[in-house]
Amino acid sequence: MTERTIAVVSAGLTTPSSTRLLADQLTAAVRDNLNGRGTPYQVKVFELRELAQDLTNNLLTGFPSKELGKVQEFVLGADALIAVTPTFSASYSGLFKTFFDVLDDNALVSKPVLIGATGGTERHSLVLDYALRPLFAYLQAVVVPTGVYAASSDWGPHAVALRARVERAATELVDAISNSRPAVQIDPYANPVSFEDLLNG
């Protein structure tokens, strides 16, 4: 059976952060689901706060650093993506948006994506449908039906309800992975442009 790869992007700004906590719960649920189906997999979690300077430089120069390039390459070649952001001013964080701004426009075409967000109050939960879904629709990704929003209150007595949403979303993502062809790993150096062509524009 072909190994499947899942990239996890967390845009939390503190250590620890509720954003990373939600990302970890989503990742664990996806792992459990894949294990239950006997599907081999590889998961990598990326904290965007560790790439903040690299992302800024990429915006200014148009080129990623070596470390950022490796992250982009894994996300590009992954079978699925879990993307989680804190909620700032009723939208995703600038750091989260910057990561997707510097990706190629075709990087996420047809890729299954599970979206998640965290915030202080339940009223910010619409960020999933009014900010995250439009972003990934523009990038032509396939977002699973269940998005997961976690407010501060969800980490207390209501953790059972959050867990139910996490498990439902994880099942939908694994279903999407199972129904799709394995992602093709693209070698960026497979078809190099000649120096003469570069000079000729």
β partners of residue 84:
10, 116
- Could you tell me the two tokens for 83? 């993307």
Q: From residue 90, how far is each of 49, 85, 109, 137, 152 by CA, in Å?
A: 20, 11, 26, 18, 15
CA 48 – CA 17 distance, rounded (Å): 12
User: What pLDDT tens digit does each residue of the chain (201 aa) get?
Assistant: 789 999 999 999 998 899 999 999 999 999 999 999 999 999 999 999 999 999 999 999 999 999 999 999 999 999 999 999 999 999 999 999 999 999 998 999 999 999 999 998 888 899 999 999 999 999 999 999 999 999 998 987 768 899 999 999 999 999 999 987 665 555 444 566 665 665 675
Domain count, the chain: 1
| Residue 95's CATH number | 3.40.50.360
Phi, psi dihedrals of residue 92, rounded to the nearest 5°:
-70, 165
Taking the CA of residue 18 as centre, how many other CA atoms within 13 Å lie in the half-sphere pointing to its CB?
Answer: 19
Q: Is the pTM of this model over 0.95?
A: no
Query: How many CB atoms within 10 Å of residue 167?
Result: 19
The residue segments making up the domain with residue 82 are 4-200
CA 163 – CA 155 distance, rounded (Å): 10
